[in-house]
Structure 1
């Protein structure tokens, strides 16, 4: 077993929630300004009186939806391109959420674009929809590649639908989503070669090229080049694999310059293990012990094929990491009384967060939820932290006869929760229930902190 000394004492630096909301508003304003600029490009290049017939009107709607979709797909991929300004201002969990919302909008605009362009041509040529569709493929440049790209977009979008996503492994979802980059390239070609607002408008062409070249440069820089260089510089190796219980495993890493990664308690990183069955995908895991003296630890629950196979990793396995990401850190604490709620693999980041809070002078209370005593990973370690009050809550609701994370259950453990601040990490259902109960106990939403690690 690898042991490390406690991390250095951190200062109790507080970040204003108002400042965080202001930064998020700035990002929204930047995206909205780009949207207005695209509408301006479209409006400035529409001939006067163009939409006077049903055919012209349908075509105009199709062109506008295509331009808006083209802009938003760039915005969508930029949000998760690991651009430092976006991540610092908003947090990767919210960026992923915004990415999903924009994905739905992009799909709607793409479908609208195709339908209205076909309808416009159909009304103009007095042809059948299928005949007009085939005619467009044959008579306009780069339309076949655009069709292939559109099909790829639809496949990616459908794979993110809740029912379909639940049936796909992370690896299948991950590789399917990588085709988005090919889809963007394939659909981009026809925008310049067949788009009415670009063919005869050099200013629009230059602006559109800059938009796509800038997006591509950001992705290549922050999604591939810099992470690869950083991963090689901080390359780590697995030095210990420790089964904590039947379903939870801790992995210890050692590597060069790990203290320079800037990882804080509550952060997560993307881990790519250079081992069979792990090489092709990178998965997000929170740290359960921050880097110190060249070592770091994560504690992972077995919730899928990938995480179950982690227990079989060999000592010495090379690991590339990307990050850190996330705002689920002690810096967000702005009250003296702090409640931690953990369950399942959420105990990893909560354990690291508890240690950081203790070093800052806080005395948090941890409610540790589990179905059985065997599921309480890291319990002895937590109970050994001076100043941390650990309250294990063990048993299923049917066995206990009540919901320990309901308002009554939480109030019985910690009265006056409206005066406290909470950090919650665990399975989605558990975390949502705890948050709802805290809200019912009149804890303001700005004092309830959750962060989702899922990139899908």
Structure 2
């Protein structure tokens, strides 16, 4: 087959602009916070309480930043993507956890120092003050969320349970705001600092309410999604076809995902991130899921006509991210769903190669559709089977170069189990495929 010579695709620079905006916002606000600390409204009792105050103000700022990162605002989500935003979320989460530990510790040390009172004895004394007690409760809840977010715990907790626990964040926000109203002093220097501080929090809470509540509600009222069909793809994989009104106005793209809820069939807090497994056509949406948890296993029993509540579309794993004319699509297991949708996307022009990694041919979901698309698009489809071993490592640098000799001249989209995706990304780096040509969907979704 004659393939088109590698050509560059004009980059939009959207991701760079979004990153730049994030950094400007972060640095500018940090500078203002430091200026506020230089001129507090009231002096601290001693050096230890001064440190506690500094840590407390930074704690409140990091919490406001965290709200913006989990707000899922379309501007950031479609340019940076949930995976990268979740990395920021994890970094700020670590900072939040340590600030929650250190802020009250230094405050307690500061109050116990003059009378040489044991620090543990100071806790019940301060807890009698309602604003301080609310702060203590918020700190405890943050600890619960942090513990369940550790990778070792996260692997053992079902997604639905993890998601429900993370709803405690909203309780923490409420308690934190009340605590600041009564205990804040660094931002009460003058009217300007108070206006700035509460403006920052109003912006963060407003962004959260808009992205997580108002926008999804408006979209679902507008589109009125319903289950149109449920199709078993294999013994443990099912596709759900969803219809609604004016779906073209959702502006969904192949490669994106939604958070899906099925009110009446599942509890309201059971939301799962499933990718579109077919390119959206403006008339219907299709998700395909493997029976891993209780919610995904229950999809097979969904009655036709069931109401659907979908948040999204989310993600930057789309053809918009391309920088080259030719494309390599790599999938493992059920990670084929966004790859299959991308394969159908007509904006993905040029020569296309698809690598699909499964244990056995019987595990290759949607294989018939992939073969039909390969024929229509004059693309190459390789189904890679067998256990990974010294003699069967298709995603090693040598394996990838053997399958796709011109890999450095292509954009590479990869989605699959975390170990496979990590291996592919490591091999791409070893092969010196530029970072701007490497695109991965890991579903590292913030709460």
After TM superposition, is the score higher than 0.5? Answer: yes
Q: Measure the CA separation in 2 of the matches of 1:166 and 1:95.
A: 20
Counterpart Cα distance in 2 of 1:20 and 1:283: 26
The match for 1:3 is none
Alignment counterpart, residue 21 of structure 2, candidates 9, 23, 26: 26
User: In structure 1, which of residues 424, 431, 445 is the aligned counterpart of residue 435 of structure 2?
Assistant: 445
Structure 2: unaligned runs, 5 residues or longer: 1-6
Rounded to whole Å, the distance in 2 between the matches of 1:267 and 1:15 is: 21
TM normalised by structure 1 equals 0.90
Partner of 1:424: 414
Counterparts of 2:315 and 2:138 in 1: how far apart (Å)?
32
Q: Does 1:312 align with 2:307?
A: no
Residues of 1 paired with 2:146 and 2:407: CA distance?
41
1:416 CA drift (Å)? 3.2
SS at match of 2:280: strand
- Where in structure 1 are there 5+ consecutive unaligned residues? 1-11
Using CA pairs under 8 Å that are at least 6 residues apart, name the structure with larger relative contact order, 1 or 2.
Answer: 2
- Which residue is equivalent to 2:327? 338
Q: CA RMSD in A?
A: 2.2
The CA deviation at 1:448 is 1.0
Post-superposition offset of 1:198:
4.7
Which has the larger displacement, 286-295 or 55-64? 286-295
Give the Cα separation in 2 of the matches to 1:441 and 1:197.
Answer: 52
**Does the CA contact (< 8 Å) of 1:338 and 1:364 recur in 2?**
yes
Is 2:332–2:356's contact at 8 Å kept on the other side of the alignment?
yes
Instruction: Tell whether the 8 Å contact from 1:250 to 1:298 is kept in structure 2 after alignment.
Output: yes
Q: Hey, what does 1:7 align to over in structure 2?
A: none
Match of 1:364 in 2: 352
Structure 2 CA distance for partners of 1:203 and 1:360, relative to 1, 3 Å: closer
Whole-angstrom distance in 2 between the partners of 1:279 and 1:190:
30
CA contact (8 A) 1:14 1:332 kept: no
Q: Which residue of 1 aligns with 2:270?
A: 281
The verdict on how the C-alpha distance between 1:46 and 1:142 changes in structure 2, with shifts beyond 3 A counting, is closer
Matched-pair contact (CA < 8 Å) for 2:319–2:347: no
Give 2:32's aligned residue: 37
Structure 1 residue corresponding to 2:382, chosen from 391, 406, 409: 391
Q: What's the CA shift for 1:14? A: 4.8
- Match 1:83 to one of 73, 76, 98: 73
Contact 1:417 1:443 in 2 (8 A): yes
Query: C-alpha offsets along residues 183-223 of structure 1, whole Å, 9 cap, x if unaligned?
Result: 12112222231233256654433333222223222222221
SS of 2:156's equivalent in the other structure is coil
Identify if the C-alpha distance between structure 1 residues 448 and 187 changes in structure 2 by more than 3 Å, giving closer, same or farther: same
Residues 15/114 of structure 1: CA separation in 2 closer, same or farther (3 Å cut): farther
Asked if structure 1 preserves the Cα contact closer than 8 Å seen for 2:342 and 2:348, the reply is: no
TM-score normalised by the chain length of structure 2: 0.92
**Which residue of the partner structure matches residue 382 of structure 1?**
370
After TM superposition, give the deviation of residue 396 of structure 1 in Å.
0.8
Q: Hey, what does 2:279 align to over in structure 1?
A: 290
Q: Deviations over 1:362-414 (max 9, x none)?
A: 2200011000111111111111122221111111124x832111122222211
Q: Give the equivalent residue in structure 2 for 1:121.
A: 111
Provide, for residues 81-117 of structure 1, a one-character-per-residue CA deviation record: whole Å limited to 9, x for no partner. 1223332442222212211211110111111101000
How far the C-alpha of 1:43 sits from its partner, in A, is 1.3
Alignment of 1:40-439 (within 5 A): 40-45=35-40, 56-138=46-128, 140-198=129-187, 201-292=190-281, 294-356=283-345, 358-385=346-373, 386=376, 387-398=378-389, 401-439=391-429
User: Retained in 2: the 8 A contact 1:337–1:362?
Assistant: yes
**Residues in 1 aligned to 2:37 and 2:282: alpha-carbon distance in whole angstroms:** 57
Are the equivalent residues in 2 in contact too, given 1:59–1:121 (CA < 8 A)?
yes
Moved over 6 A (4+): none
CA distance in 1, matches of 2:218, 2:14: 32
Distance 1:360 1:226, change over 3 A: closer
Query: Contact 1:236–1:318 (CA<8 Å) still a contact in 2?
Result: yes
**Residue-pair matches, total:** 437
